[in-house]
Every structure is written in structure tokens, then in C-alpha cells.
Amino acid sequence: MAILGIDEVGRGPWAGPLVVGACLLPESIEGLTDSKKLSVKKRELLAEEIRQHAVFGLGWISAQELDRLGLTESLCKAAREAVSQIKGEFDQVIIDGTINFLRGTKYENISQVVPKADFLVPEVSAASIIAKVSRDHYMYELTDKYPGYGFESHVGYGTAAHKKAIEELGICEEHRKSFKPIAQFIAKQPTTKPKRKAKAKQTVDAGARAEAIVAEALRRKNHSIIARNWKTKYCEIDIVSSFEGVVYFTEVKYSKNSSGLDRIDNKKLEQMKFAAEAYIASSSVKCGVKLAAAEVSGEDFRITRFLVL
């Protein structure tokens, strides 16, 4: 009997996304257990094995979307998104916890909720690990964008250091405004007029999330991520990755509709070529290279197109 395991991470943090993992194990992987019982190094090693040997999907819910939908609906939406990515057959679904996230779907009758399943069922353990590592990487990458918050250490959870950072810096776009500690902080702040640049900041936040999602998708395709947001005074590259002896330079475009790649015109293509040449000149790349572009669309941040140019 093929089991699809499901588990979530990021239910309780004050900041960052909620992520649900779904995983099939065509072959056994030694050392799988509850992700919280593993060291960071061991989780990273197991996550790499899962990427190489398992079939998995990840459902992401941003802090803003979680605020809008609420926790339970967010968990269900993320779980269904994760399951929709599974390319494989399964006869049973085991969900860690006490809530059937797939209630009302075609999988309801084959779904079973099991407390502590991430410790007891290897498929659920794998889902827990890949979701945890993927979310942690997303939070690590916020360090440069939001310096001073310590996201690289507490990954959004409510620690004393996180509380102190909020008191000193205020909240950022990654904070969950519906969560009590953040809501209490907001309530204490004097009312101010919205900043004119708020829309531009939201655009930057969406772009960063889109890049993180594309980077994770490339990892799932067995790409090794060499660099993220590599830049000089004159150019930049969103993602540099290698796969089967070829280095890919990927431009990521996010839009609310499916038209992000329309912005890559001849001028932009020349800029991408220039940036790739600059990267090659500054590194030891001696193999083949390709330019690529990824389009991420909609409020659910789905990859709608990926082109090798």
C-alpha cells in the first residue's frame, strides 16, 4: 500500500509563511523521524535525500494570506496545493495531527489523521523534514532583506530576541498581523499615514517570495543552487544554478496574472546576457551556460511558465 504523508510547519511563528509538505517514498530512506528531533545538519542531509529519491509537494501560505484566511483554512489550502503537486499513485493519506486537511476533497475517504505521525510514519516524517528545511531556507534568505530581526536564528518564532527586534524596528511585511503578539504590538503604535512607497515594498516582497519558490522548484529538479540575487553595480542575476554540466542563469518575474515573461524584451535579454558574462568572468565557470526565465503568477504564487531562452 502506497502512503502519502502530510505534515505542516510554521503553524505558530509570528512571521513567515505556513508550509505543508506531502510526500511519497518509492524507496526507504534511513534516519527519518520527527523533524524537530533532528539537528539542522541532519535535517539538511535528509532533505537532500528526499529531493533525490522521493516524490513530494509543498503548499505555501504567506503571512498576508494567513491573516486573511485564518489558520484552519490556510492549513487546508496549503495541504491541497501540496497534494496537487504529487505525480504518483497512493492508496492512503496519513496526516499528522487531529485535523483532516483534505476533508471535502476526493481524498477524504482515504485520509487518516494520526497524532505524532511525523514520528511514527516515514512518509509523514519526510513531509515534515522537507517542509521544515524549505521554510527555514526561506527565512534565512530574509536576513539581508530585513536585517536586525534575526530571522536566520529564530526563523520567525516568538523568542525574546525576536520580541526585542520588533520593539526596536517595528514589524515588517513577513509578520502575521492576526497573531496576538503582533496584533498587540500594532495596537500600541500611534496611528500614522500610510507610506507612499508601501506598494513598491509589497512588490519587492512578492518578488522575493517568487524567487524563493523558483529556487526550491529548481532544487526539486536536481539543480544545485550556486547563487541567489548575485549582483554588481551594473547588473544582477536572480538565480544561478547548475544541472548536468550546464550553468543556468534564471530571471524570475512575478505578476498577479500570467504575463510576467512579457516583460522580457530584447533589451532585457541583452541585460541578462551581460549579467551572465559578468558572472562567468568573476567565477570559475568553464562549462556550458544557458539563460532561463521563470514566471510566477497569482496570489498562490504558482510557477506558470519556465523557459530556456
DSSP string, 240-293: EEEETTEEEEEEEEEESSS-GGGG--HHHHHHHHHHHHHHHHHS---SEEEEEE
204-260: per-residue pLDDT in tens? 578 888 898 999 999 989 999 888 888 776 678 999 999 988 999 999 988 877 666
Q: What is the rounded distance in angstroms from the CA atom of residue 178 to the CA atom of residue 185?
A: 11
Residue 274, pLDDT above cutoff 70 = yes
If one compares 286 and 92, the residue with the highest pLDDT of the two is 92
The whole model's pTM is what?
0.64
Top-level CATH class of 3-140? alpha beta
| Structure-block grid coordinates of residue 128 | 515534515
Residue 20 in this model has a pLDDT that exceeds 90 = yes
Residue type, 237: I
For the cut 70, the answer to whether the pLDDT of residue 282 exceeds it is yes
More confident of the two residues 124 and 190: 124
* pLDDT tens digits, one per residue of 40-51: 999 999 999 999
Work out the pLDDT band at 97, boundaries 50, 70, 90: very high
Per residue in 50-94, pLDDT tens? 999 999 999 999 999 999 999 999 999 999 999 999 999 999 999
- Strands across the sheet with 3-9, in order? 55-61, 18-24, 3-9, 92-96, 111-114
Decide if 123 contacts 4 (C-beta within 8 A).
yes
Beta bridge partners of 22: 6, 57
pLDDT for 199 equals 47
Average pLDDT over residues 165-175: 92
Q: How confident is the model at residue 231, as a pLDDT? A: 79
**CATH number of 198-308, picked from 3.40.50.300, 3.40.1350.10, 3.40.50.12780, 3.40.50.150:** 3.40.1350.10
Q: What is the pLDDT of residues 255-268, one digit of tens each?
A: 877 666 777 788 88
Residue ranges covered by each domain of the chain = 3-140, 142-188, 198-308
Q: What is the pLDDT of residues 181-206, one digit of tens each?
A: 998 888 887 655 545 544 444 555 78
Q: Is the pLDDT assigned to residue 115 strictly greater than 60?
A: yes
Judged on CB neighbours under 10 Å (0-12, 13-18, 19+), 195 is exposed
